[in-house]
């Protein structure tokens, strides 16, 4: 897939690799080498969260200097966040919850959105706006595997990216669920490795993440 030119959908973002890294960057100088390290390990969909003042500059740097990566913005909580992320070069957005205002702004921007849900009502609201690829957040705190199994019946046409409490030790359990397309997690981008500039360690973590297995029966 030529990610530099192809128009993406939320499903494309979720199906590209087993893990979407949840990235919190405090230093713009880390953005490009981190993105290159993740891409070298096979992870191209990069969620840079809007949790720091440097986030937008980091998104812009990755978008301009690492064309092999597909950089997105996480923690998108408002229409203004979506606009700023798109202007910085983000190619997808991830939100911790769901609001029609954010959904419609992302649609107006042609910016694929993975909206966050934690209840059946939120799933139904997202579906009313045309979304069927959703972020389950905070996954562990909101019911984890048991909740995903319960949702399979009434929401069998929805695919999820569980995020929140997912780590290398439990990621495979989540990925084994038929309604899980990928998981989100921060373990691919440990802060101590970034502080040391140990990009090879991050590449190794990315390669290990790409070896996680997903069932072939994930709903389309």
Cite the active site residues.
47, 135
The number of residues making up the chain comes to 220
- Contact at 8 Å (CB) between 60 and 28? no
State how far the alpha carbon of 76 is from the alpha carbons of 111, 175, 210, in Å: 12, 25, 26
Distance of CA 65 to the CA centre of its chain: 20
Q: What phi, psi does 214 have (nearest 5°)? A: -125, 145
Q: How far is CA 36 from CA 71, 162, 166, 203, in A?
A: 11, 25, 23, 9
- The whole-angstrom separation of Cα 115 and Cα 136 is 8
Q: Which long-range contacts (CB under 8 A, 24 or more apart) does 213-218 make?
A: 213/18, 213/172, 213/175, 213/176, 214/18, 214/175, 214/180, 214/181, 214/182, 215/175, 215/176, 215/177, 215/178, 217/178, 218/15, 218/159, 218/178, 218/179, 218/180, 218/181
């Amino acid at each position: 897939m030529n990610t530099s030119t192809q128009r993406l959908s939320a499903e494309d973002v979720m199906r590209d690799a087993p893990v979407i890294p949840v990235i919190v960057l405090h230093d713009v100088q880390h953005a490009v080498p981190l993105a290159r390290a993740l891409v070298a390990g096979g992870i191209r969909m990069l969620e840079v969260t809007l949790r720091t003042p440097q986030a937008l500059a980091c998104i812009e740097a990755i978008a301009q200097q690492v064309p092999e990566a597909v950089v997105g913005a996480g923690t998108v909580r408002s229409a203004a966040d979506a606009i700023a992320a798109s202007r910085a070069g983000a190619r997808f957005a991830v939100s911790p919850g769901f609001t029609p205002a954010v959904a419609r702004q992302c649609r107006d921007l042609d910016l694929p959105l993975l909206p966050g849900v934690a209840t059946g009502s939120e799933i139904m609201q997202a579906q009313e706006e045309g979304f069927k690829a959703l972020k389950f957040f905070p996954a562990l705190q909101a019911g984890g595997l048991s909740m995903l199994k319960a949702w399979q019946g009434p929401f069998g046409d929805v695919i999820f990216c569980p995020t929140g409490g997912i780590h290398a030790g439990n990621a495979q359990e989540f990925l084994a669920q038929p309604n899980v397309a990928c998981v989100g997690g921060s373990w691919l981008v440990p802060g101590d490795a970034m502080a040391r500039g140990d990009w090879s360690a991050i590449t190794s973590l990315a390669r290990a993440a790409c070896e996680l297995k997903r069932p072939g029966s994930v709903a389309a």
